[in-house]
Each structure stands twice: as structure tokens, then as C-alpha cells.
Structure 1
């Protein structure tokens, strides 16, 4: 238990201190440590870094990244989100939908939405950012398909070249294991290839 508490920065005699003397961040950290000790299948966290200092944010991010269960995290801490989250969901306009992109894509989307609301508000019943999102998803999917196709072609060329090299290597190995290659001058000339001319 003391080793576990030490990983949450309650090392040494801190494990025996009264919680009454803990700061808000330390109490939050201890609460998370106690939850993690129980090894739940799912953690629901809402702004878990609010009262934590920088070192504790890093420790929390490391602990959450190592967490084996599922994690639902609501946070404005981009660093934490980037280190811990595998997928993002966007909650807006009465809808919850998966967000296909990273935090930089979301920022671009939010800026476009803000500009679109200032310029012309909603068009066709959907906010302007919705059209941007659809275009962005389609462009990403097309780019990914192109990248995958190019990668498959490169792999095929490499496999073909590797097979050719393997065949050449096998031929050379057969020649090198043949004692006649080393004894007879005519054979040596054949093994070395055609004479320069």
C-alpha cells in the first residue's frame, strides 16, 4: 500500500499524515489514488486537474495512461487529453457525436464555427462548422486511402525486390559451397562473372 501511495506522491511518512492538513489538490490526488486502488472497470472524471500543481498533473496523466479500464474524461487540459485519450467525442447543439480528429482539428473547427456564426449564422439548418467537419472528415478519409494505397505499393515493391535479392543470395550461396568454385580456374571465372571487356 505504501509503495502504491508513493507513486501518487505520498511517499515516506506522508502515508501516515492526517488528511485534515492536506491541500485541495492533495485531497483530490488521494481520492483518485483510493479509486485507482480499487481497480474499477470505468473511471468518470470531470476536470480532474483543477486543483493539481504541474508535477501532480504529470503524475495523474501517467497514472491514467497506465489505467487498464475504460476512462471517460471531461477536461480543458489539452496536455492531459493528448496524453490519455484514444478518441474524442463532441457535445454541442444537443448532440453527442464522435469527433474524427485531434485537438488541433477541434481548435480549427471551433475557430471556423466562431467565424461562421459571426459572418452568416446558420445555413440550411446546420451550423457552418458542421459543413467544415463533413468536408474535413471526407478529406481525411481520402488522404488516408491514398496514403494506404501508396504504402501498399511501396510494400509490394519492397517484397518483390527482397524476393529477387533472396534468389540472388541463394544462387551465390550454392556457388560458394561448391568446392569446384575454389579448385578449377574455369569455374572460378564463371563464379566471378563475365570478364571485363
Structure 2
């Protein structure tokens, strides 16, 4: 190999690698002002108070937290999809017993709620879900009933909404009868026109 070619063959890769290395070592003048720790936003700082969450490897790429799910802690948050067995005389009480069958709760024996339990079951309630258990019970009861839960006894009770009482009819004063804001005003003829 001629000496000029040998120099080119060795010198060219050497010069190229030195150029690359020197390019990596240079810093620009714009990077000289680095933000200090006090200038960083609070979200960028790392907290040393990280809470320990126990996990277990499940499969090759999956880690699962060892904490109970919300529906396991609050049983009324469990999601259910239910089909009530078709019966000719199905009532709301039968449907509620069926919904609560494996939920961990039971209906309370309240005399006032028996009126609700004896109501016929609408056809629209034969298949419900997916809904949370609380929403399913409220759907079956309807808007006239309040749901109350005794978590210690795991009982579900229903009470009737208080019915609003209309104000008693009272005598209207002359000022309210002649008010322009009233839609209905009383008209009394003058005394001369009375018989």
C-alpha cells in the first residue's frame, strides 16, 4: 500500500473521531444559566415522603397493588347486572330480595316499607344494569322513597319522602287582592250597587 494511501486510511478516521469528540465536549453559551432548585416549580421537585404501596408481580409485565377495590370496601358500590326471574305476580319486594341475594345486605323488616314492597314490579325493571347496587335499589324504589343503610347490621331500609303540606287557605287581605302582581284579583262591587 502506498504511504500516501496509508496516511489517508489512518488519518481520516482519526480526524473524524476527534471532531466528533470535540463536538460533544463543547457547551453553548445559552446553557450556562441553569435554573436553581428554588426556581423550579413545586411539581418538578421530588418528594421524599412517597407512600409505600405493596405490589405483587402478576405475569411478566403486570404489577398489582395489594389494596382492596372500592366495591370490596363499600359493598353498595359494587356493579351488578341483574335479570329478575319472570313471575306473573312479581313485586318490588321480590326484586329487592333477588338483587340483595349475594350482596351481603338484607332488607329490614319495616312496616312502613311494606307498602313499597307490595307494589307491582314494572316490566322496565325486569333487567337492570350494569349499575351500582345503591343505584339499582334506588331505581327499584322510585323517587318517593329514601334509602337508609345500617352498615353495622348490613340492612337496607326505605322510608317515604315527607309529603309537602300546602299552606292552609286563609283570608286574603285587601292589599293582596288588589296587587297588580296577583293573577287573580277579587272584585267587590261598590256599596251603592249592592241590593
Instruction: Name the TM-score, length of structure 1 as normaliser.
Output: 0.18
Greater helix fraction, Structure 1 or Structure 2: 1
Greater strand fraction, Structure 1 or Structure 2: 2
Larger Rg: 2
